[in-house]
Chain A
């Protein structure tokens, strides 16, 4: 089945540690995104990538890093510089329409990160 997978579903991190969240898609989508969701809030964009080997910062990129070495994969690293990393993290992807812009974003099941 085509879709977006995220792993792990739950992740616990000690303060001062870096952790990497996985996001994989087999939809052949060009663009991929990482969002953060906090209680009582909508999603906020962390990073996005429109093509392989290229990515841009979103609204809340500080303390996070990404890579896009393959079209299918867009891992997110939460570094120790992120002051309040406990949140729910959602990965999304979207196909590219004719022209330059991308179409509807489809989401993975998410990863719940808790800092101990």
Chain B
């Protein structure tokens, strides 16, 4: 069974600084997708970034980037120039592109606090 582990329950960073959130996963599949979702106090899950395992290039979305290490099964999220609006729970998630097996497997989340 696939599992996703986020080993940092809480993180904090000074506003405008950079922070990295860790995620590791366990799978025997070779083709899969990885995601980072953000859940602010409103509790809506918002997609931050997505990575396809067959792509060697790390995904980037503005201030958000990932460090995808397929052999190590690691998928960390880097937030640059942290802003107050980045404060939220961040969830790492995994899924395989398989018809009939549609679920996202989530980690337990990392609570990110931004210090003004």
A binds B: yes
Q: Is A40 interfacial (CB-CB < 8 Å)?
A: yes
Q: Is A66 interfacial (CB-CB < 8 Å)?
A: no
- Count contacts on A: residues with CB < 8 A to the other chain: 29
* Residues 48-67 of chain A, each 1 if its beta carbon lies under 8 Å from chain B, else 0: 10100000101100000000
Q: How far is the CB of B98 from chain A (nearest CB, A)?
A: 6
CB-defined contacts of A104 to chain B, threshold 8 Å? 33, 35, 47, 50
Select which of B50, B99, B108 is within 8 A of A42 by beta carbon. Answer: B108
CB-defined contacts of A106 to chain B, threshold 8 Å? 47
Q: Is B75 interfacial (CB-CB < 8 Å)?
A: no
Q: How far is the CB of B90 from chain A (nearest CB, A)?
A: 11
Closest chain B residue to A107, Cβ basis = B45
- The answer to whether residues A109 and B43 also contact, given A40-B108, A42-B4 and a CB cut-off of 8 A, is yes
- Count contacts on B: residues with CB < 8 A to the other chain: 25
A–B complex contacts, Cβ < 8 Å, 25 sampled = A31-B102, A41-B108, A42-B106, A42-B108, A42-B109, A43-B91, A43-B104, A44-B106, A45-B103, A45-B104, A50-B102, A56-B100, A56-B102, A58-B103, A88-B43, A92-B45, A101-B97, A101-B98, A101-B99, A104-B47, A104-B50, A105-B104, A107-B37, A107-B45, A112-B43
